Amino acid sequence: MAKWAEPWPQYWSSEDDEDDDGWMPIESAPRDGSDFLAFDGDFIEVCKFVDGKLLLSWSGDPFSTSSNIDCDATHWQPLPAPPRK
Is the four-CA dihedral 29, 33, 37, 38 of positive or negative sign?
A: positive
Q: Which domain holds residue 38?
A: 24-78
Q: Is residue 61 part of a domain?
A: yes
Radius of gyration of the chain (CA): 13
Q: Is residue 65 part of a domain?
A: yes
Q: Is residue 13 part of a domain?
A: no
Mean pLDDT across the stretch 29-54?
A: 89
Is the whole model's pTM more than 0.95, yes or no? no
pLDDT digits (tens, 9 = 90+) for 1-41: 344 444 444 444 445 554 568 899 999 999 998 989 999 88
Buried b (16+ CB within 10 A) or exposed e, 16-35: eebeeeebbebeebeeeeee
Count how many domains the chain has: 1
- Band of residue 76 on the pLDDT scale cut at 50, 70, 90: very high
* Greater pLDDT, 63 or 49: 49
